[in-house]
Amino acid sequence: MHQWKRWVVSASMATLVVVGVVGCGGGGSSTPKKVYVAGDSLNDVGVYGMRFTVQSGDAKNPHRVWTEHVAASIGAAYPCAAYDGLQSFAAKSGCTAYAVGGAQINPATLNRTGVAISSVTIGSDTAPQSVIQQIKDVGKNTFRYEDMVLVNGGGNDINVLLTSLSEGLLLGYTPANAFAYKTVMKDLLPATMVDSTPNTPADLTVLGTQYMQALATSLSNAVKAELLVKEAQRVLVLNLPNVAKAPILNTSAPVVQDLAGTLTRAFNAQLQKELGGESKVLIVDFDAKLGDWINNPTNAKLNGFNLTNVTAKACGTTALRDCSDAVLNASGPSDWKTYLFVDDLHATPFAYQLMGQWVTEQIKAKGW
């Protein structure tokens, strides 16, 4: 990669809530810091044998996600994946990164009939695809003062809503798609309230904001009960970025983009309300930072380079598992290394480095 080899750190970053780094306590202990991670694909460090970014040609030096960059920047080891997604999600001893690509705060929407995975199902609240269960698993550890937990969540949940709601906004609501949408709502909202809501775009949008608020509350309650009560001292929560800014929706109809913005703001406002007053929690406003990078790409700099493309997908139509350095160098955009997005939702290695650098600045400002 020529001059890029001098500065590209193989790391990629994971959407959502970041839970603290466990590190050395006071008194000169020689025990190294640990970073614990829960969330979705933005935080996933390789549960499925890959990271959700460009694949490195060197298996021993993968492009790392932002959670790994943050770990390195605070003097902790790279966290390894705590589940083996290729072996029925078997637990991996000694690993502290529980984030799973595709995970949701409300995993029931992943598969309503349930698909068996060992002793749990994908649509179960006890499955690794549940961000809440991941946080519970993180909470089973013993935290030291300088340990840090990095958490995100909600990205896949909002995509479920947008799939059904956006179709209704564009094509007109039918009893069928309104029923599917309301079925999701009933996982967290009172059934009587959901059923009595008229099937109009305005009313169903309001219902959607209430659901997003419920998701944020569910996530916040898990952080409090499973981390703070169990004496985690440093919990970093990534708020929800607006997916309308990503390729998956950045060319969609304005009404769909507006809906995405409304749902995102509802989630983030509730997250701030629930956790903003907690002294041991740092909420990082990734939504605002992502918007800043998109609006001012030349200001998003790292080692003399800045973002050059903030709208297109570096990998095009190539699946991430098949999208490698070699493929992009041979047939990708000439400036792919400074793209923001690698596919519909995920970041390039450069963007994950930017994210790691920026999050580390927030950690230092907090005094951690």
Do 46 and 62 form a contact (C-beta atoms < 8 A)? yes
Residue 306 lies in a domain: yes
pLDDT at 327: 97
Residue 69 lies in a domain: yes
pTM of the model: 0.88
Residue 57 lies in a domain: yes
Least confident of 230-234, 300-304, 354-358: 300-304
Would you say residue 23 has pLDDT above 60? no
Do 37 and 43 form a contact (C-beta atoms < 8 A)? yes
pLDDT at 21: 38
Residue 304 lies in a domain: yes
Residue 85 lies in a domain: yes
In terms of average pLDDT, the best of 12-21, 78-87, 166-175, 227-236 is 227-236
Count of domains for the chain: 1
Least confident of 21-35, 212-226, 257-271, 313-327: 21-35
Residue 309 β-bridge partners: 339
Structural domain of 354? 7-154+232-242+268-366
Residue 192 lies in a domain: no
| CA–CA separation, 253 and 275 (whole Å) | 33
pLDDT at 180: 72
Residue 203 lies in a domain: no
The percentage of the chain sitting over the pLDDT mark of 90, rounded to a whole number, equals 71
Would you say residue 126 has pLDDT above 70? yes
- CATH assignment at residue 111: 3.40.50
Q: Is 251 exposed, middle or buried (0-12, 13-18, 19+ CB in 10 A)?
A: exposed
Q: pLDDT tens across 150-206, in order?
A: 999 999 999 888 876 766 665 565 666 677 778 888 889 999 999 999 888 888 889
pLDDT at 173: 59
Least confident of 7-11, 91-95, 252-256: 7-11
pLDDT bracket for residue 332 (50, 70, 90): very high
The arithmetic mean of pLDDT across residues 84-93, rounded, is: 88
Buried b or exposed e, range 22-49, using 16+ CB within 10 angstroms: bbbeeeeeeeebbbbbbbbbbbbbbbbe
Would you say residue 266 has pLDDT above 80? yes
Q: Is 113 exposed, middle or buried (0-12, 13-18, 19+ CB in 10 A)?
A: exposed
Residue 208 lies in a domain: no
Helices 175-185 + 155-171 axis angle, to 10: 160
